[in-house]
Amino acid sequence: MKIPSEIILVHSARLLDHDTGGGDHPETADRLRCIEQRLQSGSLAPHLHYVAPEPASHEALLVFHSESWLLRFEEEVLSGRSYIGHPDNQVCYDSFDVALLSAGTGIKGVDVVEQDAGRCVFCATRPPGHHAEPSMSYGFCFLNNCVIAARYWQNRYNRRRICVLDFDAHHGNGIQTAFEEDPETLYISIHEHPSFSYPGTGYAEETGMGPGEGTILNIPLTPGSSDQKVVAALDGVVREKLEQFRPEAMIIAAGFDGHRLDDMSGLNYSTGLYSIIGERIGSWAGELCSGRVVSLLEGGYHLQSLAESVEAYLIALRGK
């Protein structure tokens, strides 16, 4: 039976087993531990409901990733390599299996929403995904969790028009790669300007190609940008684009590294901004796509700000 106010957390303790080598790597299991501690000690605690993901199937991954990349990723991990391609992409023996499970969180989230639209679903997952390209890891990402979930939504449930909204501080180059020629998907990203920030893509001029022209909306912000710029974009171009596109479902690439205390970007967001973002998304999903929305964790590396921002986001998202 539906409990309208519950929050579904798609999560597994197994996601903590992707070990990025200790040292000063920012993408650690402590990120998920801190989120969980915060949620369990706050006002949402009585409303949390945990759902376990299953590893994404080979078929679900091949909608975006190449067979050769999946083989290479698994082989390099099992051969004991400590990173793939670039030292950013640290791996351990368990990393391939954990990445499959991380990709599976979005798929599980889609299933939960399809069983009961309007549920507030958050995938508390890692490794993140939005930088992952079809045949390469980038920026701590190995498999593109949001793209895999979007394609699953289309293929399994025939929801054709999917919007991915990305508020991570960085541009989701991998999501753009997946969708830039596709007229059925819309990718909206608000991020620090690529001239100043990783990965160097996401200029406003990148708007999609061929049949996908107009289905990419990049909103780059100069370093130091604070809440007002984001709110103005949300209530202006983002809302307008969503109303024009009329998505049947939304996937949120929920990254919290634009927080002013997070040194992974030069953005200057407050914790309160994530509450506004959650409120807008909840409201749009209700109006435009019968509440069909799934959020997946991307970045966010200052542990306290990450945990507080996720909580603020979920309180607001659940409010609608």
As annotated, the active-site residues are 131
CB of 140 to Zn ion, least distance (A): 8
- Phi and psi at 153, nearest 5°, equal -60, -40
Single out the segment in contact with Zn ion by CB under 5 A; choices: 68-76, 94-102, 165-173, 239-247. 165-173
> 180 to 239, contacts with Zn ion by CB under 5 A?
none
- 82-117 b/e with 16+ CB inside 10 Å = b? ebbeeebbbbbeebbebbbbbbbbbbbbbbbbbeee
Distance CA 51, CA 48 (A): 10
CB of 109 to Zn ion, least distance (A): 20
In the bound state with Zn ion, the residue whose beta carbon lies nearer, of 170 and 320, is 170
In the bound state with Zn ion, the residue whose beta carbon lies nearer, of 26 and 247, is 26
* β-bridge mates for residue 217, sequence order: 188
Distance CA 178, CA 98 (A): 22
Single out the segment in contact with Zn ion by CB under 5 A; choices: 45-53, 63-71, 170-178, 268-276. 170-178
The owner of tokens 């999560």 is: 11
CB of 265 to Zn ion, least distance (A): 7
Contact 137, 99 (CB under 8 A): no
> In the chain, where do the E strands start and end?
7-10, 48-51, 120-123, 162-166, 185-192, 216-221, 249-254, 293-297
Distance CA 69, CA 104 (A): 18
In the bound state with Zn ion, the residue whose beta carbon lies nearer, of 247 and 255, is 255
In the bound state with Zn ion, the residue whose beta carbon lies nearer, of 212 and 255, is 255
In the bound state with Zn ion, the residue whose beta carbon lies nearer, of 139 and 212, is 139
CB of 161 to Zn ion, least distance (A): 26
Contact 132, 143 (CB under 8 A): yes
Site string for Zn ion, 10-29 (x = CB under 5 A): --------------------
CB of 132 to Zn ion, least distance (A): 13
Single out the segment in contact with Zn ion by CB under 5 A; choices: 39-47, 94-102, 168-176, 306-314. 168-176
Query: Per this entry, what is the length of the chain?
Result: 320
> 240 to 259, contacts with Zn ion by CB under 5 A?
255, 257
Structure tokens at 194: 């690529």
CB of 37 to Zn ion, least distance (A): 22
In the bound state with Zn ion, the residue whose beta carbon lies nearer, of 190 and 242, is 190
Single out the segment in contact with Zn ion by CB under 5 A; choices: 57-65, 66-74, 176-184, 293-301. 293-301
Single out the segment in contact with Zn ion by CB under 5 A; choices: 24-32, 100-108, 116-124, 296-304. 296-304
Distances in Å between the alpha carbon of 144 and those of 30, 185, 267, 278?
A: 21, 15, 24, 22
Using CB positions, name the residue nearest to Zn ion.
299
CB of 170 to Zn ion, least distance (A): 4
299: contact with Zn ion by CB under 5 A: yes
Q: How many residues bind Zn ion (CB under 5 A)?
A: 6
DSSP state of 145: H
Cis peptide before 199 (omega within 30 of 0): yes
Q: How far is CA 39 from the centre of its chain?
A: 19
In the bound state with Zn ion, the residue whose beta carbon lies nearer, of 247 and 299, is 299
Residue ranges binding Zn ion (CB under 5 A): 168-170, 255, 257, 299
